Each structure stands twice: as structure tokens, then as C-alpha cells.
Amino acid sequence: MKFDDVLETIGPFGKYQKIRCLLLCMFSLVSAWHAFNMVFVGAVPEFHCDNQNINISSSKISNISDAGLLELLVPDDSCQQYDEKDVIMLYDNSTGVHRILSSNMSTTDCTRGFWYSKETYSSTIVSQFDLVCKRSFWISTSKSVFFFGRLCGAVAFGQLSDRFGRRPMFFVGAAILLVAGSIASAAQNIYMFLPMYFLQGLAHTGIFLVVYTLSTELVGPEYRFLVSVTIQIFYSVGCMILSGMAYLLRDWRYLELAITLPVVLFASYWWFLPESVRWLLSQNRFDEAHKYLKEAAATNGAILSPSIMKSLQDVDNKNLKNGKKYGSVLPVTKGHQGGKTINNGRKYYFLDLVRTWPMAKISLNIWFNWFANALVYYGLSLNTENLAGDPYLNFCIAGAVEIPAYILCIISLNKVGRKVIVVTSMCVGGIACILSGTVHINGNSGTVTTVLAMIGKFFITASYGMLYLLAAEVFPTVVRNVGVGVSSMSGSIGGILVPTMLDLKSIWAPLPLVLFGSLSITAGSLALLLPETTDRPMPQLLEDVSTSD
């Protein structure tokens, strides 16, 4: 008897699974807070050279207003100022401002530091650590460091949870997240902040991996996609909640604490969170597996026959005698970094994914789609502060549009096909991105730009959810873990590049969105070459791909 048959006996999605999936979904809220807190923690407020505490009492400009003094001292470049002595010397009571501005005076770097507006953000790491002008590169560096932490977290926790179990890695990750977030909130400089931010990226992604894996391993095959989409919907709700928290807590240190301290509550999961029964069976820990199955059956109102565990042990012993040992290879596991799958004694590696041309066409296509999708998804999410309108409202809307996108995936999943959704969503989302960056309508260009960006976010989210399922279904079973793992790494690399691409707006303001849109359209077009997997059996061996149409 297979484990999926056992789930059908005790209930594939009964009360036991629903309660625990709900508990796991709660972490998805916190995960979203840590994934996007840099939108507010690292926001750049309006700034210019500080013109306060200038000794002008004995000069002709002693009676000038603050606004007038600002106009005299600060040119259009916020990183420069006119020399104070030259300003005082050249000032003329009748034509002072005009004479100064037309005198081709030389400028210097800000000599008294910077003044930051507190109208939108009372404090960010930018204003706290003066990450502007020549130090502005630290902003994009911080974001890239975080995404690099996510990449490391996916790799490390994927391997460690396969070795030591999902449950212990959940609590290890929570401890790291709690400590790193707390220290980051007290950081006195960027050098102290960055290592903690790296650990936040590592831990939050690692825990999300465990949450995603545990949830899908708890339920029957027909409910896995529903559970995975539900986790993503909670993630979107978390984004909406984050915008409200940031609006109420304008100081970045308080916001960092607010998204970190709730992690303490997950300590209570020690008494509720089960270990993956699939993983326990793969480790021959049958007594523990039996305990969880009995608990699940009792909660679901089902009866667990003693013969069921015996049949599971017999299947496992038979696999061992035949040289087969299968771990819990999941069809959809976000960021899962599986090692190798053994079939009849043969070991499969990364190179098997590109060894033959039919397999290479699928692998490279899927990886590029994940790369482009992650690049556009996180690019649009982190770019909300640059859109017209209130940044808090923009980010809230960007999170809200994801929910109907995921619902659309559920409704249309088996009606129009996976490939159709991916191709359509990537291409339409890409077109919306390009229009968002380039369209100009008199009087309403800001509003139209924001609306188009949200349309792009809607469609790229729809493809984001569907790509996981498509990737799992096109890779053969013997290389599925490795294939999905490399796909996740490709997405993480896209995330690392997002901050650098957003900085390209200094060259041409629409350039980031144009690049995002172009990559999305290119990837969506290439997805036409992928096989449709709806209502078709998943390939088991590499030869199944080579011989498929």
C-alpha cells in the first residue's frame, strides 16, 4: 500500500490536516513581512544638504526665510550645495536669489550632512545611516544581500530538512529569524545591519520551505495544489498587513521589531506541529509515523487498521531489497533543493537535466521562466515606492491583486491548461509593465502608470503560482527534485538582480519596467515550446521525455 492510499483511508484533507495547514499558513503572513520589509525599512525619503546652524547673523542674508536660504544654498542636485562664503559674498538684497542662481557658482558636497523629510517616513535605514549620494549603493546592496540569503536558505534548509526532518528545521529557522531580526532592529550602522539582514533572508526562506513542504505532505495528491495556493494567498494577505503596520509605525526600528517579535508565538507549535509522516517512513521511523497517523485518524473520525502500517513497512523493505530508496519527492515544493533520486541503482544528477536535447529544451526553458518571473514579481513589488500616489496604499493594492490572481489559477487550472495560463499571464503582464513605464497621458500619467503596474502584478502573480505546478509536472520523477531545486535557484538569482535593475532608472526612468516587461514577454513566448501537462501522466524516466510529443 502506498502512503497516498493511507491518506485516502484516514481522510486526505480532514479536520487534522485543515487545522495544521491553517497553523502553517500563519507563518506565511510573517514570511511576507520579512520578504518585503525593505520597501519601507530601506525607503528613500526626500533629502537635501542640511542648511541648518549656518552662521549668517552678521551677514546681509540674516533676515532671509528658511525657504529662501534653501534656494540660495542648495541647487537642483540634492547631493550638492553652493559654498556658503560665496553665497554670502554675492548676495544682493534686490536681486540676490536671481544673481546667485545665474552666477555659475561652483558646488561642493554637503558639508553639514543631510536633511531628511519626515512627511512619509519618520526614519529608515537610509536616513539613519546616511545611505544617499556616494553611499546610495548600500541600498541596492542590502536588498541583494537579502536575496542572496534567501538563495542560501533554500539550499541549506532544503538539504537539512531532508536529513534531520522538517519539524526541527522549522524551530531552528524561527530561532535564527528571531535573533537576527532583533539585532537588526538595534543596528547602529550598515555594517552591523547587513549580516543580520542576510540571516533574515536565509531563515525566513528556510522556514517557508519547511512550511510549504509539510503542508503538501500532509494532504492527499488532489489537495496539494489547493493547499499550496492557500499558502500563497496568506502570503499576499501578509503583504497587505505589512503596509498597514508600516503606515502606523513610521520608524524602521519599530517596524523591524513588529515583524520579528511575533515569531515568539511559533514556539507554541512545539505541541501542535507534526513531523512529516512521509519523511519518517523514508527514515524507517515507523513507530513515530504510526503515532501521527493514529492521531490524524482519530481527529478525522476514521479508523487506522494495524495492517496499514505493516503494509507500509513491507513496501519499504521491498524497495530496500530492490536497491530503491525514495525520499518524499513532492510534485510541488517551493525552493526545494533535493539531492539525487536513485532508480534501480542508478544515480541522477544535474547534468541529466541537460544531457539530451529534448530534456535540455524543457530544463532551460523552465529555468529561464522562473528567473524572469521572479525578477518581474519582486521588481514590481519593490518598485511600489517609486509609483505615483501613497507608497503604503500602493503596496497594499499590490498585495491585494495577488489574491484574485491565485483564485483565477484554481478556477482555470484544469479548464484551460497550465501552459496556456503561464504563456498568457507572462505576456500580458510583460506588456502591462512596458506600458506602465512608457505611457504618458496628460494629467493622469501617474495614476495610469500605477494601474498598469498593478495589472502587471496581477498577471505575473498568476504565472508565479502556476509555474511551480508546471515545473513539477514536466520534469521526470527521477530528476524532479533536482529540476525543481534548480528552478528555485534560478528564481533566487533573479531576485538578487532586482535591486541592480531598479537602479537603472537613473539612466532612463522607464528602463527597469521596460526590461521587466521584455523579459516577461520573452519567457512567456518560450513557454509555448513546453509540453502541456493537464490531464496527462507525469513522466517517470528521462526516456519518457525523449519519446513524448
The yes-or-no verdict on residue 71 having pLDDT over 90 is no
| Arithmetic mean of pLDDT, 191-197 | 97
- Of 113, 136, 134, nearest to 125 by C-alpha is 136
| Arithmetic mean of pLDDT, 449-463 | 93
* DSSP, residue by residue, 45-85: --EEE--TT---TTSTTTT--HHHHHHHH--SSTTEEE-HH
- Of 346, 376, 351, 345, nearest to 486 by C-alpha is 351
| The pLDDT of residue 69 | 66
User: HSE of 55 in the Cβ direction (CA atoms, 13 Å)?
Assistant: 2
Q: What is the second-level CATH architecture of the domain 338-549?
A: Up-down Bundle (1.20)
Alpha-carbon gap, residue 61 to 68, rounded angstroms: 9
Least confident interval from 157-161, 222-226, 329-333? 329-333
Please name every residue paired with 47 in a beta bridge, in sequence order, or none if there are none.
116
The yes-or-no verdict on residue 54 having pLDDT over 80 is no
Same fold, 1-15+127-221+252-334 and 338-549: yes
The yes-or-no verdict on residue 416 having pLDDT over 80 is yes
Contacts of 350 (CB under 8 A, 6+ apart): 482, 486
Alpha-carbon gap, residue 179 to 114, rounded angstroms: 32
User: HSE of 394 in the Cβ direction (CA atoms, 13 Å)?
Assistant: 22
Backbone angles phi, psi at 13, to 5 degrees: -155, 60
Alpha-carbon gap, residue 515 to 500, rounded angstroms: 12
C-alpha cell at 357: 536535447
| The pLDDT of residue 326 | 37
Alpha-carbon gap, residue 259 to 237, rounded angstroms: 14
Q: For residues 240 and 126, is the Cβ–Cβ distance under 8 A?
A: no
| Radius of gyration of the chain measured on its C-alpha atoms | 27
Q: Where are the domains of the chain?
A: 1-15+127-221+252-334, 47-116, 338-549
- pLDDT (tens digit per residue) in 96-109: 554 555 456 677 88
| The pLDDT of residue 343 | 47
- pLDDT (tens digit per residue) in 496-542: 999 999 999 889 888 999 999 999 999 999 999 999 887 777 787 78
Alpha-carbon gap, residue 117 to 101, rounded angstroms: 24
Handedness of CA 213, 214, 219, 220 (dihedral sign): positive
| Arithmetic mean of pLDDT, 3-7 | 82
The yes-or-no verdict on residue 342 having pLDDT over 50 is no
Contacts of 235 (CB under 8 A, 6+ apart): 28, 29, 31, 32, 35, 402
Mean pLDDT of the chain: 84
C-alpha cell at 170: 522549522
Alpha-carbon gap, residue 302 to 321, rounded angstroms: 32
| Arithmetic mean of pLDDT, 369-380 | 95
| Arithmetic mean of pLDDT, 55-82 | 66
Residue keyed to cell 532608472: 505
C-alpha cell at 530: 513546453
Residue 470's pLDDT band, with cuts at 50, 70 and 90, is confident
Record the pTM: 0.87
Q: For residues 118 and 251, is the Cβ–Cβ distance under 8 A?
A: no
Written as one letter, the residue type at 20 is R
CATH code assigned to 1-15+127-221+252-334: 1.20.1250.20
| Strand pairing category for 47-49 and 342-343 | unpaired
The yes-or-no verdict on residue 249 having pLDDT over 90 is yes
Do you know the residue count of the chain? 549
C-alpha cell at 445: 500619467
